[in-house]
Amino acid sequence: MSWWSFKPYISAAQKKTNALKEIAKLTEKGQVISPVKLEGKKIAATFWGKAWCNNLEAYSDLAYRLPRGRSYLRNGSVVDLQIGPGNVTALVSGSSLYRVSINIRPLVGTIWSDIQQNCAGQIASVIELLKGGISDHVMEIVTRKSNGLFPSPDEIEMSCSCPDWAGMCKHVAAALYGVGARLDQTPEMLFALRQVDHLDLIAQAGDVTALTRETSAAKVIAAGDLADVFGIELAPAFQSPSVKDRPLTAKPKRLKPHARQSSKPSTVKKLSKQIPPKHDGKPKVSQARHRTKAKAKAMARPVGKRSKAARKPS
């Protein structure tokens, strides 16, 4: 068979079997691969995936090879697909395993600035942007042919290791459709592919929100200005003490008089034992004190009144 002869026909089932064999070989070699797997016949189901595929089909110079590429993708022939900044690489299984390389130019700075300006304040969050929950006006801006996010044919350079001489073979078309399918799962890859930061669109919305808050705050009249306008004095607002001004510990309880002398428990106990017990509200008189009083009375008696025993000489 000469080099210009056509290769034998391979059915879709055989292509799928060949693709599975190639995946197994690459996995055994330790290569990390990311095949494109479709759920059903639809290539894309979300806004970003559909917009990518619609952009490809909008150019007549790409349309003639796209149908074969869709068939290859649906058959599971895209064994591996990697998307990076400005570059797409793929392994597509056909009669052999072919290597596809697609280079996409970065988005022109003036176009990106124009997109940011037109979308300012219209995208509430990153989740809203990536899920495609954006307004029709924003959709129209990012999908414009001349100055939108999606690349035009003159911004795409493609190559394949297959012997097809066409600029875009069916293997390249399958890889391009694979990008649309991948954007269903990770739409931020579109911004990485065009080498722009999708957070710039959210930042513009945040600036508008901050400006609105500043304008609203400027309309509030301070308390001092209010007093000057109406010629009145406003009582100072009560301010509860902050946590820093409050005491760290509670006020200690006041000790009893006998317990102030010492903080030691043993001393307090000794002092408490010396306090005479109370009874009927009057303190008891000790026996020693009673004898002292009796002796004093005896000494105070007149001499003539002493007893006979006392007057006898010794």
pLDDT one-digit tens code per residue, 138-178: 999 999 988 999 999 899 999 999 988 777 899 999 999 99
CB of 101 closer than 8 Å to CB of 89: yes
Give the tens place of pLDDT for each residue, 35-55: 998 988 889 999 999 999 999
**Beta strands 78-84; 97-104: pairing state:** unpaired
Task: Please state the rounded mean pLDDT for residues 78-85.
Answer: 94
Q: Which residues pair with 90 in a beta bridge?
A: 81, 100
CA distances, 140 to each of 19, 28, 148, 225, 282 (Å): 38, 46, 9, 48, 105
Which DSSP symbol is given to 31? -
Tell which wins on pLDDT, 314 or 145: 145
Cα 83 to Cα 100: distance, rounded to the nearest angstrom: 12
pTM for this entry: 0.61
Q: What average pLDDT does the segment 114-120 reach?
A: 91
pLDDT confidence band for 296 (50 / 70 / 90): low
d(CA 54, CA 45): 12
Kindly report the number of other CB atoms within 10 A of residue 65's CB atom: 19
Which pair of tokens denotes residue 224?
A: 């001092």
Q: Give the per-residue pLDDT at 36.
A: 92
Structure tokens at 185: 């799962």
